[in-house]
Amino acid sequence: MKRAWGAWAELWDRREDAAALALVRIFIGAVVAYDLLEMWRVGAIEPLLARPGEGYASASDGWAVYVFGAGAAGARALWLTGLLAALAVAGGVATRAACVVSIAVSLQIAQVAPDGDRGIDQLMRVVLAILALSRCHARWSADAWLWRRAGRPIPTDVPAWPRYLLLLQLLWVYASGGMNKGGAEWGPTGGFTALANALTDPHIARFDPAWVEVVHPLTRVATAATMLFELSAPLYLALYHFAATRERPGRLRAACNRLHLRWVWLALGAAFHLGIACTLRLGIFPFGMLALYPILMLPGELRRSSGR
């Protein structure tokens, strides 16, 4: 028991290069900022965020109406606060405070417009909360530059536990997503037609559905691959461990590394999200998920890439 507890404590006390967390911070900040800019582009700020009447406010409206007001001006102020916070997260400017402000704005938007609060928004809030508790600003940030100029540089070897939490969160999203796809169209009894159905849905499809008939067999393969990818997400922990300990003996470890199964799983995930981005209108979902992919890398892999 003592040895097991020591190994557990050592796992959560590990240090590693900050590159993965820094990249996630940059990408998440950029995705949230892009989403808010899209809200401005389509003219949805006031219809979505403004409350009826400049002087109207109630306890159910949340904190923003007391800070910014309830009307159109308050809606624009809330939106601008969220945009500046997201850009600050991406640039690493007062990073921890920026993460907290971004969460607060997202929660306020969810309270004012609950029907617009998507699953990806909830995930972004979880990610931002973990980033606020991490040292994701140790690399590629204004904070790191300022502290370095002040003669007190932030160490680039940071606690690894925030990345572990994000990794577990991401794998749980995939696994639970696969388990909740209970419709027959996701399996062999329904002919793996779920993706074809989505591609012909006028609400979310980007293109005329006529092209789907031509590639219908490929959509079945893609649906089956999606289910395989999501349901096998917990196995990525084993593949990751095998890659991190490739010098140890074991036939299964050697076979998984030799066949590059970890990279096959990552390629399936990237293809899944890029395919969604190209063919379906699902907002920031594919980009928000891809923004988390640096945490799936080994620290040494990111260190070599950042060195190049």
Q: Based on the domain organization, do 173 and 280 belong to the same domain?
A: yes
Pairwise CA distance, residues 107 & 84, whole Å: 16
Cβ count near 75 (within 10 Å): 24
- On average, the pLDDT of the chain sits at 91
Residue 53: pLDDT band with limits 50, 70, 90: low
The answer to whether position 194 is within a domain reads yes
For residue 51, the model assigns a pLDDT of: 72
Pairwise CA distance, residues 281 & 134, whole Å: 33
Number of domains the chain is built from? 2
Q: Which tokens hold the place of 145?
A: 């530059």
The answer to whether position 9 is within a domain reads no
Q: Based on the domain organization, do 54 and 184 belong to the same domain?
A: no
pLDDT of 253-307, one tens digit each?
A: 999 999 999 999 999 999 999 999 999 999 999 999 999 999 999 988 876 665 5
pLDDT of 59-114, one tens digit each?
A: 566 778 778 877 888 899 999 999 999 999 999 999 999 999 999 999 999 988 88
Q: Based on the domain organization, do 95 and 233 belong to the same domain?
A: no
Cβ count near 268 (within 10 Å): 17
Pairwise CA distance, residues 228 & 19, whole Å: 30
Q: Which of 120, 150, 180 is the last residue of a domain?
A: 150
Q: Based on the domain organization, do 144 and 172 belong to the same domain?
A: no
Among 134-138, 139-143, 205-209, 238-242, the minimum mean pLDDT is found in 205-209
Radius of gyration of the chain (CA): 22
3-state DSSP helix/strand/coil percent for the chain, to nearest 5?
Answer: 70, 5, 25
Range of the domain at 187: 160-308
Contacts of 197 (CB under 8 A, 6+ apart): 185
The answer to whether position 191 is within a domain reads yes
